[in-house]
Chains A and B, each alone.
Chain A
Amino acid sequence: MKALINARLTLVWLVLCAVTIVSWWLGGTAEHHGHFVFSTPVTIGVLAIGLFKCRLIMQNFMEVRTAPRWLRLFTDIWLVAFWGAVLAIYLY
């Protein structure tokens, strides 16, 4: 059981690290002759990965997955409201 839980945590950690590197690579693609350029697809990608990582951390590391319903609701509402607001302001 213990090994299984730790295996899950380790898997989460590996996924988090992997998507972090992906988002870093994504950021690097939005350049032109060594200068950063605006790129909506890259931004959306970065924000989506950010939301995904936040949710992974909250669900698994902070143990929201097994927490009471109000906490699960609150964190998910926060995730959607916050990242949604960021994206909306960016697109506006």
Chain B
Amino acid sequence: MTATERTMSPPHDRDTMSPTDEEANSGIRLPGEGSMWVFVLGDMIIFGAYFVIFMIERTSESAVFLQSQQHLNQTIGLINTLVMLTSSWFVARAVRACRAGDYQGATRLTVCGFLCGVVFILIKIYEWSVEIGHGYTLASNDFFMFYFMLTGVHLLHVVLGLIILGIVFRELRRPTLRRASMVESGATYWHMVDMLWIVIFALVYLLR
């Protein structure tokens, strides 16, 4: 793409694939669409408030929280964290592959990230069913109320993330649909889901 062509194209040409274009200019750039960052940063603040409220409630009943924590399977939490991190790793590499023009590789990596997300959901469902089987539900006590609500709303974000990754997959497969910004935006969102899980793992499972 020559300079003249670039100036002639409409201002929203960032929608379309322009590999190495921005990176050539300078190292500094915002990956993905700005609107996705509004979403991600806002979500971080909203979830931050949920977690802070969790901590405040915890101080008033810390013994109950600590005892209830014991009924969670820490190892399942660990495995899920590793699955989520791996998923993020795949998706991060998919973005790099896409930027380098390796669309097949990007597609493959996105699928791997997607499958890790599915595994995460399956493990989560198994974990929930074990807890419910032991008689711990939303109404058991304040700890389990938070446990189910926080992991539940996180799971909702995972499902939304899988839908977004599905859209990314669809766009990567068809040359006419490929948009670097979409791949980057989807990845940004997915990493945020990963990061929120890390906070949940630390606060709900590991805090003593």
B69 touching A54 by the CB < 8 A rule?
A: no
For the complex, give the distance between the alpha carbons of A42 and B74 in Å: 15
Report whether over half of chain B's contact residues are helix, strand or loop; otherwise say mixed.
helix
Give the number of chain B interface residues (Cβ < 8 Å): 54
Chain A contact residues: helix, strand, loop or mixed = helix
Chain B residues 56 to 84 lying within 8 A of chain A, measured CB to CB, are 56, 58-59, 62, 66-67, 69-70, 74-75, 77-78, 81-82
Q: Report the Cα distance A58→B184, complex, angstroms.
A: 13
What separation, in Å, do the CA atoms of A74 and B207 have in the docked complex? 26
Q: What residues of A have a CB within 8 angstroms of the CB of B85 in the complex?
A: 13, 16-17, 20
Q: How far is the CB of B52 from chain A (nearest CB, A)?
A: 5
What residue of chain B has the Cβ atom nearest to residue A12's Cβ?
B89
Contact of A90 among B59, B67, B89, B192 (CB under 8 A): B59
Contact with B along A18-53 (1 / 0, CB 8 A): 001101101110100001111100110011011001
Residues from chain A with Cβ under 8 Å of B91 in the complex: 61
- In the complex where A36-B208, A78-B44 touch, is A54 in contact with B52 (Cβ < 8 A)? no
**Closest A residue, CB atoms, query B53:** A89
Among B67, B93, B188, B206, residue most surrounded by chain A Cβ atoms (within 10 Å)? B206
Please state if A62 and B192 are interface contacts (CB–CB under 8 Å). Answer: yes
Residues of A within 8 A of B (CB): 2, 5-6, 9-10, 12-13, 16-17, 20-21, 23-24, 26-28, 30, 35-39, 42-43, 46-47, 49-50, 53-54, 57-58, 60-63, 66-69, 71, 74, 78, 81-82, 85-86, 89-90, 92
Using A36-B66, A86-B203 as known contacts, list a sample of 13 further A-B pairs with CB atoms less than 8 Å apart, ordered by residue number in A.
A9-B93, A9-B96, A17-B82, A36-B67, A36-B208, A46-B202, A46-B207, A54-B198, A61-B89, A62-B40, A63-B95, A66-B27, A82-B51
Interface residue ranges, B against A (CB under 8 Å):
27-31, 37, 40-41, 44-45, 48, 51-52, 55-56, 58-59, 62, 66-67, 69-70, 74-75, 77-78, 81-82, 85-86, 88-89, 91-93, 95-96, 100, 184, 187-188, 191-192, 194-195, 198-199, 201-203, 205-208
